Chains A and B, each alone.
Chain A
């Protein structure tokens, strides 16, 4: 490990991201260089670190290259896209292939005029000027590539290597009813992919965003994604992340929100595929009366490993949070959940509730869960609850006594367990698609559909 750290440090000295977006903007270049230096100082986390106690990422460190690859898309993509995509009529779609925006596959024409949705690389490389300060390159370098946003060493790496992603700006009072759909396809053999999304919601604006990650082949892709969400006073953002990476892919991601007075942030994280998946989801309730809702469902099988770390910082008074995470672990899957709620000294009248339920379906499956409350204010109401168990024998018996065979009965009950999270998604069309994705992963899922 130490020799590896050494080599990264040497790399850091020579690191000039010439091929990356924004390389001719000195601020961006400098931000990337210092981010890489910070990464090289520390290297990848080890299991000795509390936040990585149950997740071993040493395999990433053994990759031959960490630099992002630019693998051209396969010509057959366009045909397959229909099968993968969950886009519906009228959705605003941006497609990224191996971390690069593909505008031929995307559809953003019919966006209302007040909404800016563009590619990060385009923004950083383009010579024309946008009037909004949010699209200023210096502003982006300063506000979004800064070390204050580096929650893990992977975010530093993303700062150094981020290739592309969506930048969304919602003007104040802008309400967008149709979801914005961001589709990330990983297909290159062993590619390293660094998507970076920036979402800025102006005052009282409202939008729904879907981030969908799909992996195609059984190759060792490494995706390191990061999404930053800035929610101004009174704004509402519903963010839904769907993770369906390929069976050998590694996916490490961060979703980091900051909330002002009276804002609402709803996050859904559905993790349905990937070899090693880790989501760090954080939000800071900086304004009074702000509210967040973090929902998550992980459904893993075989030797898959899934890790969700969430952190809610109640900084201002009278904020509230709700967290619901559920996991279904079959085969030799390993699920990890760590939900941290921090109530800062000023944050009186905080209301925070968190639950995590886990279903273990096989002898080899394992779950490690750690809900965590850190409270520094007195006038608060905080609770958390965790359960780990298996399907209820009585319910199974009930179904079997009515002529439903054992496997199907198990699938029905598992689906019922998972559905508690699915039904929290507000877009009906999206909810149905997720229901189907979940059913596809259950034995005899088709027949469960018939029973519903």
Chain B
């Protein structure tokens, strides 16, 4: 086993592949947070009065809050006054109208990431709302979607064009008082994506956004709002990589999903931000609030996430199962290597009758990584015949890492059926031996076993992402995946 262990160590000791940094001129507001910063952000984005009021209320509330300490995470204190709260790539004053208007440096960045916009429009059939730092610079397929009445645009644009929808839905799932990081986001969010699917419309393509942190020391505060009206369907992809950097960067995004009667939302994430180097220096701090609200009867929300990056991940995509017969799903693969720490999981709140939820979480720890699953299954007295099944498995690769599970189960209705299962183990020597004695290299064997371990989650990803997710996992653990 000692040689196998050594090989394993080499495999998991690879450097971050997407570490590059595009020198772009940026337009930043000074460091620090105050009412003036918020007014400035709001003014730069030319926002209507109601947005500014909302931001200021959030800021006032944020001032009264303390950073949460309950997570199984350790990091040096964050100086919230030492962060740039706004930066936008410099481009034409009016903003680009087509791909040719975009800064070539920026386009090259996308190409390095393997998402050439030019080809994407034709080949992939995917509408991309690319968020580069804080301002959306390119949106494709908008016309096609507009024909169906689907609104898919940067958040800042939606504030101007659809203020009624924003006012009706913003903050109804994650209120600005929700938690420390959500309040911070509500006060300072720079941009994000907005999506509205009208009743009885099935969105014909996967919607996706690529987030990318680029300017140095810029906390990125994304805000995404997706509304699926009655009997609508949408599948949304979100993926990210970030350049290598030494100082920790703060990321506090908020995602709100609203599914009305009979609607279905699939939300998938592949997150591969800079995890820090082998010594645990640098890396992104990722404090995300994601929540879906199954507001109508028979609605369905599913979260799928592949978390391989970030020095710290604090993320609990949740579903509030309010409507009768609503379904909530959570599928997750979280990988921690080097000194990465992940405290992630889900919350399923059963309120409506016959609501169902499924939780499938796979954690992989390597190096000094610490991986925690933290979940809550809550069945309220009104949730007649609620059903939950939870499975969370952890795989350990190396003797310095840790895997932890903190599942909370609260049941107040006797007709509920709740099941929870968890297991933790390492890759068995016998499993590795079986593969190697059949001529499979240790590297391939590990890849194969890890892929098999995660297969149930990858199956939930859309095709394009399943491939990318496999790759990411391979890159994060070693060179290639079989």
Is there contact, CB below 8 Å, between B399 and A377?
yes
Is there contact, CB below 8 Å, between B424 and A370?
no
Q: Which residue of B lies closest to A379 (CB)?
A: B426
Nearest chain A CB to B427 CB, angstrom units: 9
Chain B interface residue count, Cβ-Cβ cutoff 8 angstroms = 35
Within 8 A of B (CB), among A354-394: 358, 360-363, 365-390
Is there contact, CB below 8 Å, between A375 and B396?
yes
Q: Which residue of B lies closest to A389 (CB)?
A: B417
Nearest chain A CB to B201 CB, angstrom units: 39
B49 lies within 8 A of chain A by Cβ: no
B394 lies within 8 A of chain A by Cβ: yes
Task: List, in ascending order, chain B residues with CB within 8 A of A367's CB.
Answer: 409-411
Is there contact, CB below 8 Å, between B402 and A383?
no
Given contacts A360-B414, A375-B403, A375-B404, contact A386 B424 (CB under 8 A): no
Task: List, in ascending order, chain A residues with CB within 8 A of B412's CB.
Answer: 366
- Bound-complex Cα distance A371 to B408 (A): 8
Within 8 A of B (CB), among A23-75: 50
B13 lies within 8 A of chain A by Cβ: no
- Bound-complex Cα distance A361 to B416 (A): 11
B381 lies within 8 A of chain A by Cβ: yes
Bin the interface of chain A by size.
20 to 34
Q: Which residue of A lies closest to B378 (CB)?
A: A368
Is there contact, CB below 8 Å, between A380 and B426?
yes
Task: List, in ascending order, chain B residues with CB within 8 A of A368's CB.
Answer: 408-411
Task: List, in ascending order, chain B residues with CB within 8 A of A373's CB.
Answer: 394, 403-405, 422, 424
Nearest chain A CB to B146 CB, angstrom units: 48
Is there contact, CB below 8 Å, between B397 and A378?
yes
- Bound-complex Cα distance A370 to B394 (A): 17
Nearest chain A CB to B17 CB, angstrom units: 26
- The CB with the most chain A CB atoms within 10 A, among B381, B411, B413, B417, is that of B411
A348 lies within 8 A of chain B by Cβ: yes
Given contacts A368-B408, A379-B426, contact A388 B418 (CB under 8 A): yes
Task: List, in ascending order, chain B residues with CB within 8 A of A378's CB.
Answer: 396-399, 401, 426
Is there contact, CB below 8 Å, between B381 and A363?
yes
Is there contact, CB below 8 Å, between B405 and A366?
no
B407 lies within 8 A of chain A by Cβ: yes
Q: Which residue of A lies closest to B381 (CB)?
A: A363
Nearest chain B CB to A173 CB, angstrom units: 38
Nearest chain B CB to A385 CB, angstrom units: 5
Task: List, in ascending order, chain B residues with CB within 8 A of A363's CB.
Answer: 381, 413-414
Is there contact, CB below 8 Å, between B422 and A374?
no
Cross-interface CB contact of A382 among B406, B410, B424, cutoff 8 Å: B424
Task: List, in ascending order, chain B residues with CB within 8 A of A348's CB.
Answer: 399
Give me 28 A-to-B residue pairs in the complex whose CB atoms sit less than 8 angstroms apart, sorted by A's number: A362-B414, A369-B409, A370-B406, A370-B408, A371-B405, A371-B422, A373-B404, A375-B402, A377-B396, A378-B401, A378-B426, A379-B396, A379-B399, A380-B426, A382-B423, A383-B423, A384-B405, A384-B420, A384-B421, A384-B422, A385-B420, A385-B421, A386-B418, A387-B417, A387-B418, A388-B418, A389-B416, A389-B418
User: A371-B407, A384-B422, A385-B422 are known contacts; what are 17 more A-B pairs with Cβ within 8 Å?
Assistant: A360-B416, A361-B414, A363-B381, A366-B412, A367-B410, A368-B409, A372-B406, A373-B422, A374-B402, A375-B394, A377-B396, A378-B401, A380-B424, A381-B424, A385-B421, A386-B420, A388-B416
Q: B-contacting residues of A (Cβ < 8 Å)?
A: 50, 345, 348, 358, 360-363, 365-390
